[in-house]
Every structure is written in structure tokens, then in C-alpha cells.
């Protein structure tokens, strides 16, 4: 009988964990939505950072890129053809690809013609919060 009680206790704990994970997922979605609204407002106000209640909130945007699966083989061929084959490991690490995309955008303002149809470029915006010294 003690085993049955332990199993029931375990199941109650697992059920509670599931409830908490569901709640956490909803809270994270809500926080993400609010963060995007704050970033939109900061962009509109041309505000880079804000100090509030002992924290510094900083707007940060970074350009990212990823290669669609259907374009992967052609992309690898194009990298080799344009002297960039050394970044292929047998695949291009996402961080390396992001660095390449960032470099093109910083120097050329866009991807080269050969890469444009192969790489999906997007911007990731985040609001960083750090405690400030009092």
C-alpha cells in the first residue's frame, strides 16, 4: 500500500510540474511580447538605453542569417566559388554564418547577389537589463 501512495504522490508532483511548465511557457510568451512592445517604443523614441530602479535597460539589435534547407547544397557551392569554403566544417556553424552576414551588412549594406536568394536575413532585437552601481 505504501508503494501505491508513493506512486500517487509522484504523479501529483509530475502533474504539478506540467502545470508549472505550461504557466512558465505562457509567462515567457507574455514577457517576449511586452519586450517587443518596449523595443518598438524605444525605437520610436530613438532611445538606446534607460536607467530605472537600479537597472540599465539597453536596446540591442543584431543581424542574423540562416540558410533554408532547400538551399543548403547550393549555398555551400557558392561559398566555395567565392573563396569562402574555409568556413565550411561540413556545415557552416550558425555563429560563423551570422558573422559573415553581419560583415556583409556592415561593409556592403546587403548580401552579395549570389547569397541573396540563399540566406534568410533577419534582425533579433533584445532588451538587456543589468544592475547598475548605486
What does the pLDDT look like over 80-91, one tens digit per residue? 999 998 888 767
Q: Say what the pTM is.
A: 0.57
Phi-psi region of 54 (alpha: psi -120 to 50; beta: other; left: phi over 0): left
Rounded to 5 degrees, what angle do the CA atoms 3, 4, 7 make? 85
CA Rg, the chain, in Å? 23
Tell me the mean pLDDT in the region 9-16: 93
pLDDT in tens, 13-44: 999 999 999 999 999 999 999 999 999 999 99
Amino acid at each position: 500500500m505504501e508503494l501505491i501512495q508513493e506512486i500517487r504522490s509522484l504523479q501529483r508532483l509530475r502533474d504539478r510540474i506540467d502545470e508549472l511548465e505550461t504557466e512558465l511557457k505562457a509567462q515567457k510568451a507574455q514577457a517576449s511580447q511586452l519586450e517587443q512592445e518596449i523595443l518598438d517604443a524605444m525605437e520610436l523614441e530613438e532611445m538606446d538605453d534607460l536607467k530605472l530602479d537600479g537597472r540599465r535597460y539597453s536596446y540591442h539589435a543584431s543581424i542574423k542569417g540562416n540558410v533554408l534547407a532547400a538551399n543548403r547544397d547550393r549555398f555551400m557551392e557558392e561559398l566555395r566559388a567565392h573563396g569562402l569554403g574555409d568556413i565550411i566544417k561540413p556545415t557552416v556553424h550558425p555563429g560563423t554564418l551570422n558573422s559573415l552576414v553581419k560583415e556583409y551588412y556592415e561593409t556592403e549594406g546587403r548580401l552579395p547577389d549570389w547569397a541573396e536568394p540563399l540566406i534568410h536575413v533577419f534582425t533579433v532585437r533584445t532588451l538587456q537589463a543589468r544592475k547598475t552601481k548605486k
